[in-house]
Amino acid sequence: MARKKIALIGAGNIGGTLAHLAAQKALGDVVLFDVVEGVPQGKALDLAQCGPVEGFDVSLKGTNDYADIAGADVIIVTAGVARKPGMSRDDLLGINLKVMKAVGEGIKTHAPGAFVICITNPLDAMVWALREFSGLPHHMVVGMAGVLDSARFRHFLADEFKVSVQDVTAFVLGGHGDTMVPVVEYSTVAGIPLPDLIKMGWSSKERIDAIVARTRSGGGEIVGLLKTGSAFYAPAASGIAMAEAFLYDQKRVIPCAVNLTGQYGVDNLYVGVPCVIGAGGVERVVEIALSDEAKANFQVSVDAVKELLVACRGIDPSLG
């Protein structure tokens, strides 16, 4: 059986980490694309030389030519500019919108059958724009935010409760960033919801509220520490988890930015919600009943995404 093909658009910090993880996990042959000459080629060669040490046989190729992504099964997009300290995700909008146009057109021409995972920020607007520019079906274009946001939430919760991260589940909704909605009543330790754990004396409402706040600004915390870039290990791991769900038809129930068509009262907008990812791409959107508080927070998040799209349309009127 021929190997699968994974194309990574953007060979920066996340792109390079994605390439390493994809190769280590032997997900398929990897093509690393970037506009900068030499960087994708250099990283691909360096990573290929991990093969004999780490024991993988997949090939890695660096390129500046979109023709090399032809036939890709999965494409993960990190092309663009990363957030710098003091820069909000929204400041990135103008620059990264232009990048999405070039990437979307490249995908449309060379790999229209791929499952596309967008990571570039501001995520909810970029994934929408990428879908518009590429013209791919909505169920084949998703944004990576919820897997990362819930991983951050799970990490902080496991640390609070002194239990394994494996036994902590977390549920997040909404846009990526300050308006994301961690849903406390659906987040659990071994199936026990957080409000029950508070009643059991494992934590307090104040401490959980502080964890929620830290999760919401999880990306900013790392930007502040790194000073010269943004998080890349966990974002890459999250993107790979989504690629695996598609490639292995795992039908995982994970939060992703997907195009809603009436679910949660939202129409024709990419927002983070739980969904089933399998060989068919986004196979189902999971619609749950929300508390009034979660509903109100979700609406704030939806409104923030809508504002971004208005700004995108202002910058590029070709976006209908």
Is residue 28 a contact point for ligand APR (CB under 6 A)?
A: no
**Binding window for ligand APR (CB under 6 A); candidates: 48-56, 114-122, 166-174, 196-204:** 114-122
Burial code (b: 16+ CB inside 10 Å, e: under 16) for 285-297 equals beeeebeeebeeb
Q: Is 270 a binder of ligand APR (CB under 6 A)?
A: no
Q: Is 313 helix (H, G, I), strand (E, B) or coil?
A: helix
- Choose the binding region for ligand APR from 35-43, 254-262, 273-281, 307-315 (rule: CB under 6 A): 35-43
**Euclidean distance between CA atoms 275 and 142, whole angstroms:** 10
Q: How are beta strands 5-9 and 74-77 bridged, if at all?
A: parallel
- φ/ψ (deg, to 5) at 29: -70, 140
Binding residue (CB under 6 A) for ligand APR from 4, 21, 31, 34 = 34
What DSSP line would sit under 106-159, residue for residue?
HHHHH-TTSEEEE-PSSHHHHHHHHHHHH---GGGEEE--HHHHHHHHHHHHHH
Q: Which of 23, 79, 93, 116 binds ligand APR (CB under 6 A)?
A: 79
- Cβ distance to ligand APR smaller for residue 65 or 249: 65
121 is in an annotated binding site: yes
Q: Which residues in 120-149 contact ligand APR (CB under 6 A)?
A: 120-121
Q: Judged by CB under 6 A, which of 6, 7, 8, 14 binds ligand APR?
A: 14
| 230, 238, 297, 301: which one binds ligand APR (CB under 6 A) | 230
Residue 44: closest CA among 25, 59, 66 = 59
Residue 72 interacting with ligand APR (CB under 6 A):
no
Which residue is nearest to ligand APR, using beta carbons?
12
User: Contacts with ligand APR in 236-265 (CB under 6 A)?
Assistant: none
Instruction: Rank residues 64 and 263 by Cβ distance to ligand APR and give the closer one.
Output: 64
Q: What's the farthest any 2 CA atoms get from each other in the chain?
A: 58
Q: Is 110 tagged catalytic?
A: no
Please, what is the minimum distance in Å from the beta carbon of residue 10 to ligand APR?
A: 4
Task: Determine, following the binding rule CB under 6 A, whether residue 216 of this chain makes contact with ligand APR.
Answer: no
- d(Cα 285, Cα 16) in Å, to the nearest integer? 31
Q: Looking at beta carbons only, is 10 or 174 nearer to ligand APR?
A: 10
Q: Is 272 in the site for ligand APR (CB under 6 A)?
A: no
Least distance between ligand APR and beta carbon 40 (Å): 8
Is 216 annotated to bind a ligand? Reply is: no
Task: Show the site string, 171-210: x = touches ligand APR by CB under 6 A, - = not.
Answer: ----------------------------------------
Q: Total residues contacting ligand APR (rule CB under 6 A)?
A: 27
Contact 81, 52 (CB under 8 A): no
How far is it, in rounded angstroms, from Cα 34 to Cα 95? 16
**Cα→Cα distances 284→121, 254, 314, Å:** 24, 11, 32
Dist CA 207 CA 264 (whole Å): 29
User: Which are the catalytic amino acids?
Assistant: 176
